[in-house]
Amino acid sequence: MSMARASSGLAYPERFYAAASYAGFDGSVEEVTSKFSSDSALLLYALYQQATVGPCNIPKPSSWSPVEQSKWKSWQGLGNMATTEAMRLFVKILEEEDPGWYSRASNFATEPIVDVQMNHNSKTEPVIENGNSSPETKNIFTENGSLMETQDKDVVSEGLGSVVVYDQWIAPPISGQRPKARYEHGAAVVQDKMYIYGGNHNGRYLNDLHVLDLRSWTWSKVEAKVESESLESSPATLTPCAGHSLIPWENKLLSIAGHTKDPSETIQVKTFDLQTSSWSTLKTYGKAPVSRGGQSVTLVGTSLVIFGGQDAKRTLLNDLHILDLETMTWDEIDALGVPPSPRSDHAAAVHAERYLLIFGGGSHATCFNDLHVLDLQTMEWSRPTQQGEIPTARAGHAGVTVGENWFIVGGGDNKSGASETVVLNMSTLVWSVVTSVQGRVPLASEGLSLAVSSYNGEDVLVSFGGYNGRYNSEVHVLKPSHKSTLQKIIETPVPDSVSAVHNATNATRDVESEFEVGQEGKIREIVMDNIDSDPQKSKGGETTEHLIATLKSEKEELESSLSKEKLQSIQLKEELAEAETRNTELYKLNMLRLQHMNEVKSFSELQSVRGQLAAEQSRCFKLEVDVAELRQKLQTMETLQKELELLQRQKAASEQAALNAKQRHSSGGVWGWLAGNPPPSEKADDA
């Protein structure tokens, strides 16, 4: 039998003031050292000052008193931490030091902490009348008897705004018509409403659309209609699907890809208009990817980046495509480097609008826990080294980003579900565990959805559905806390030396902050150890003056070391600035060179074209000259032809005349002689 503490419903700042009153705080460390350790007392003092006064703007104490120095350094180390964050961390540290403080706070005795005995299969549900929960506390347990979550009505009865518990999954009191249990569905949040579309239930694909109002925790079914055909879209056939992606875009929901009973050849993009409650199929251009399910779809600016998945023939994919939402044009990307192996049911996120991260997923035989990064500017894959508590291999998990933090929930490895909720700092690539659940619960399921909403500047994660041996339709919410410099002091060990910080990171911009954290941790450790010890009872019989002199010497030595390291940090910053300046200049120079080369190339190409044009013009001129000469020759030939014909006619006439003359001569020969006419020759002789 074990005990669990239920969280109080008292909200901030009242909860902080109750904690400060219980701790006996009036701005003095000495009054709380009797209840807490010296380190905790010092941190509580600094947080109290930060929450009530604000950032430390007072000058450094001139006194050499180690207590005053430590108080100032602790307060100064919080920097510009927000008041609400300081209040939250104050209460968190108090709860770690004294878990039962709230039940012993005299001013709030009417709302004690509830200690729950974990009997097997116990379950106490609040009475829900007309959608409103009764004041009873709600305790939910898993099948094996371990605590899933404990809550009271004040935590969630008024929507996201009343979720005051950090880093714990809670189940809000849901009303309305709950959707059918499912997994591999699509989920998206638009203006405090979470939409659920499609999915898989008992092997059957779904095509229903439901919406959960995150302010009233009320489900309702959306009665959608089909939009008429237009230039940009055509009527959509609401084919049941699963393994698709649901992306909010402007005032619409985009449903991309997914498995269907009768798959199309290429990916279909359907849109749901939230104003008209109508579905349509968008017309796209270019070569669309092959149809698939289990892919990742990430919104980057005005483009969708699609990676991987599994096609209708169960072939795993690792191709990369981008859909421009402004032109609705597909583009297949042939990226550099080594891409992730073919997979489906992985998670993807974008960091700084430039880097696409791919984590986990599965093939037909195994699951992965590798991390791949695609630089969307250079279109090159890389596989960086992961740090921290690296998650186990999984597929079917869900993820959302909050700032630079990427939260991963659920998934499994075909043997068991992943029970821990993990977060990756996308700037440092360090993993850490946020919380864990026990037993076969929806949060340790495959194919669940995860969305993020916000209330008063704070983000809240909302999960739905999943499959872990049975289909689920439960909703759970978690308010993540934000990491701070103070939490690094509390939760991580101080480096042995400042040089270790320099060697542990390549990001020189973090050197100074990490160094200050380490030095303050050392100073606090040394000073508080000496405060706890009694100078009169020291083994060596040292006098108070000697101890003070020793502390002063250590302080001066540490301050000297601090000054040196700060100087090194300044030098590193200057070198970094110079390097960035050089890089900027080199970049500009390279751009100028590239521009000049392009201009030279363009000029050369222009000159070449001009030369070719001149050559063609010269050739044309020669051809024209040749044509003129040929025409002249042709005219000459025509004249000669005419002269030839004339000569031929003259020749023919001459020949004809000669022939006629000959004939006349021959006809007067014999008969003329007989008649007594002599031939012409004889007449000539006679003459």
The arithmetic mean of pLDDT across residues 410-428, rounded, is 93
User: What is the domain count for the chain?
Assistant: 3
Contacts of residues 626-635 at CB distance under 8 Å and 24 or more positions apart, as own/partner, are: none
At 675 the three-state DSSP class reads helix
Q: 241 and 336 share a domain?
A: yes
Bridge partners, 186 (sequence order): 197
Task: State which of 41-45, 269-273, 457-461, 488-492 shows the largest mean pLDDT.
Answer: 269-273
Report the pLDDT averaged over residues 596-612: 81
Say if residue 145's pLDDT is above 90. Answer: no
| Structural domain contains residue 449 | yes
ω into 680 cis (within 30 of 0): no
Bridge-based pairing state of the strands 225-226 and 278-282: parallel
**Domain boundary, last residue among 479, 513, 548:** 479
CATH at residue 27: 1.20.80.10
Q: In one letter, which amino acid is 560?
A: S
**Does position 103 have pLDDT exceeding 90, yes or no?**
no
Highest mean pLDDT among 260-264, 523-527, 613-617: 260-264
Q: Which of 479, 500, 522 is the last residue of a domain?
A: 479
Residue 333: exposure state from Cβ atoms within 10 A (0-12, 13-18, ≥19): middle
Residue 336 and residue 255 share a domain? yes
* Rg, Å, the chain Cα set: 45
Q: What is the mean pLDDT of the chain?
A: 78
Residue 615 belongs to domain spanning: 583-650
Average pLDDT over residues 163-181: 91
Is the pLDDT at 525 greater than 80, yes or no?
A: no
Instruction: Pull the structure tokens for residue 458.
Output: 């704070």
Phi, psi of 269 (to 5 degrees): -115, 110
Residue range 130-148: mean pLDDT, rounded:
35
In a domain, 121, yes or no: no
* Structural domain includes residue 537: no
Question: Does the pLDDT of residue 430 top 90, yes or no?
Answer: yes
Beta bridge partners of 332: 321
**How many residues can be counted in the chain?**
687
Q: Are 297 and 274 in contact (CB under 8 A)?
A: no
pLDDT band of residue 524 (cuts 50, 70, 90) is very low
| Tokens 């106490």, located at residue | 124
Q: Please state at what angle helix 83-97 crosses helix 38-52, rounded to 10 degrees.
A: 150
Q: Does 184 share its domain with 83?
A: no
* Same domain (yes/no): 91, 201: no
Question: Which pLDDT score is estimated for 187?
Answer: 98
The pLDDT value recorded for residue 599 is 78
Does 4 fall in a domain? no
Same domain, 172 and 97: no
> Is 539 part of any domain?
no
Domain endpoint, select from 101, 120, 138: 101
Examine the domain organization and report whether 440 and 298 are in the same domain: yes
pLDDT tens profile 279-328: 999 999 999 999 999 999 999 999 999 999 999 999 999 999 999 999 99
CATH number for the domain spanning 410: value is: 2.120.10.80
Q: Are residues 46 and 189 in the same domain?
A: no
pLDDT at 263: 92
Q: Tens of pLDDT along 341-360?
A: 999 999 999 999 999 999 99
Give a yes or no: residue 457 inside a domain.
yes
State how far Cα 258 lies from the chain centre: 20
Residues 37 and 173 reside in one and the same domain = no
Kindly state the tokens that stand for 457. 């500047």
Question: Is 361 found in the same domain as 247?
Answer: yes
Tell me: do 95 and 196 sit in the same domain.
Answer: no
| Other CB atoms within 10 A of residue 592 CB | 10
How would residue 421 be classed by pLDDT, with cut points 50, 70 and 90? very high
Asked if residue 180 and residue 85 are part of one domain, the reply reads: no
The answer to whether residue 389 is domain-embedded is yes
Domain membership of residue 489 (yes or no) is no
Q: Do 192 and 296 reside in the same domain of the chain?
A: yes
Dump pLDDT digits (tens) for 187-240.
Answer: 999 999 999 999 999 989 999 999 999 999 999 999 988 877 666 767 777 899
pLDDT at 487 (0 to 100): 37
